[in-house]
Amino acid sequence: MKRNFAAILVLVSASIAINAQKTTEIPNPAIDMKGYLRVAEEAAEHREKRRLTEEDFIKMSKQNGVIVLDARSSEKYDELHIKGAVNLSFPDITIDSLAKMLPDKNATILIYCNNNFVNAQDAFPAKMAAASLNISTYISLYTYGYRNVYELGPLLDVKATKLELVKSKAESVSATNR
C-alpha cells in the first residue's frame, strides 16, 4: 500500500512538473509577438541606412516640413530637448495619436533619445543599449507605416553638441552653461 501510494505520488508530481513546463496558449488577437519580431527584423534592416551624423541631422532638421520627434516622457522632454522637436511619449504612440500628430506617413521624421546624449543624466537618463528608445520608436513608427524616418546616430555630449538644446520654457541652453 505504501509503495503504491509512493508510486502514485511520484507520477502525480512528475505530471504536475511536466504540465507546468508546457506553454499555455492564451489567445489575444490584439497582441502578436511573432508579428512584432517579423516587423522588427524588417525595421532593423531599413534603419541601418537611416542613421545620421550630428551634422546631417542638423541639416535635415532645417528642411521644410521635417518633424523632429522626441519620444521620451513629457517630463524629460520639458527638462531638455532639441529645439523645435515635438513630443509624443512612447507609451502614447497609438493609431489615434499618430493620426493626429503625424498624419502624413510620407513626412520626414527625425528621432533621437536618451542614449544620444551624455552629461545631462536628469534629462537624458541612460538606458541599456538593447533597450534604447531609438530602437523602440523606430520599430513602432515602421510598424505603423512610416518609412521616411531617420535617427540621430552618435552619442553626443550636451556640453559640446552643435544641436541647440532647450527647456520647455523656450529657454535656450548654450554650450557654455550646459
In the chain, where the domains are located: 51-177
Domain 51-177 is in which class? alpha beta
Report the distance separating Cα 60 and Cα 68, nearest Å: 10
| Residues sharing a CB contact under 8 Å with residue 17, sequence separation 6 or more, in sequence order | none
pLDDT tens column, 77-103: 999 999 999 999 999 999 999 999 999
**Can you give the pLDDT at residue 24?**
80
Averaged pLDDT, 30-45: 97
Closest CA to 117 of 149, 79, 150: 79
- Cα torsion 157, 135, 105, 124: sign: negative
Report the distance separating Cα 174 and Cα 178, nearest Å: 6
Give the count of beta carbons closer than 10 Å to the beta carbon of residue 2: 6
Q: Which three cell numbers stand for residue 60?
A: 535635415
Span between the terminal Cα atoms of the chain, in Å? 80
Which ranges of the chain would DSSP assign to H, the alpha helix?
A: 2-21, 33-47, 54-61, 74-79, 95-101, 133-143
Q: What does pTM read for this prediction?
A: 0.82
Percent of the chain with pLDDT over 70: 82
Report the distance separating Cα 91 and Cα 162, nearest Å: 29
Please say if the pLDDT value at position 20 is more than 70: no
pLDDT tens column, 104-132: 999 999 999 999 999 999 999 999 999 99
pLDDT tens column, 51-78: 999 999 999 999 999 999 999 999 999 9
